[in-house]
Amino acid sequence: MILLPQKLFPGDTIGVVSPSNPVTAELEGQFAAGIAYLEQMGFTLRIGEHVRSTTWGHAAAPREKADDLNRMFADRSVKAVIGSQGGDTANSCLPYLDWECIRENPKIFLGISDITVLLNAIYQKTSLVTFHGNDITWGFGHAPQAYDRDEFISRLMNGATGNVPPRMQRHAVRAGQAEGILLGGNLRCLLKLAGTPYFPDFRGAILFLEALDISPAGCEAAFSQLRQIGVFERVRGVLVGYIHGMQKDGRSDSEMEQVLLKITSGFDFPILKLNEFGHNCPNTVLPVGARVRMDTTSLTLEILENFVS
């Protein structure tokens, strides 16, 4: 049985943490802009103690990252937790998270990129629905568009189920319809969980994937790994989001979805290409752990069940 966090209301306190890369001096302007954006929406922001810490030179120590997360979940006055940004090292804090505390204090947890590690690990360990969507620095602090604001409000304040509104043209890669639990995020970061107790159970799942800068060869390697560890035998469908490195500036690189189609030859699950989640693009908010339906004929993604209370 899944755990549902409570929806957000104006005036609520949102905690900010850096479980991956810290906020550096070069990013202070964008970080401050992201904080101001959410404050203008009516929220109070509480900054974690180690958001800027570089105890290990490149980032805070794993225990420091986990301590910030644990404190935010334990604090009943904090109604949601958002990552400052992604990066490289979110998986290092996993052994130090207080899973029982998170389970007993379900609240919205939102992030993107390397925060994929935590979105899926938290759901796997506690059954708490988490949320793939904008972070503070690169989402709300970097030219957010109306789509970003509308989807944040729709999903996390209004709890809207139903169709995820399209932002750009979608297309079918392999035809079909499927329903399942939504799991995934950034391809590179998701694979950090492979072989660990935090890797999600993909039986009957809809897998969604995006990447920042990735080559066709990198896609082939990652998809081959997913195939070899049995993920493609378990999923019911795959969603491919906006792939910045392949789609920016009209580049003609082989697209991720076409590499996926080749690697999964022999499987019949549907594949739908859409552009409503990813790096350096407007983002919807996707509930990791909630049931969804995808349809390549109508080119739709539909959230089928409540994901906030």
Tell me: the pLDDT tens digits for 209-227? 999 989 999 999 999 999 9
Which pLDDT does position 244 carry in this prediction? 79
- 281-303: b (≥16 Cβ within 10 Å) or e: bbbbbbbbbbbbbbbbeeebbeb
Q: Is domain 13-157 in CATH 3.40.1080.10, yes or no?
A: no
Give me the architecture of the 164-303 domain, per CATH.
3-Layer(bba) Sandwich (3.50)
Which pLDDT does position 223 carry in this prediction? 98
* Nearest CA among 229, 281, 303 for reference residue 4: 303
Domain boundaries, the chain: 13-157, 164-303
Which pLDDT does position 251 carry in this prediction? 63
> Which residue ranges in the chain fall short of pLDDT 50?
none
Cβ–Cβ < 8 Å for 222, 188:
yes
Report residue 5 as tokens. Answer: 């966090």
Tell me: the pLDDT tens digits for 60-93? 999 999 999 999 999 999 999 999 999 999 999 9
Which pLDDT does position 247 carry in this prediction? 77
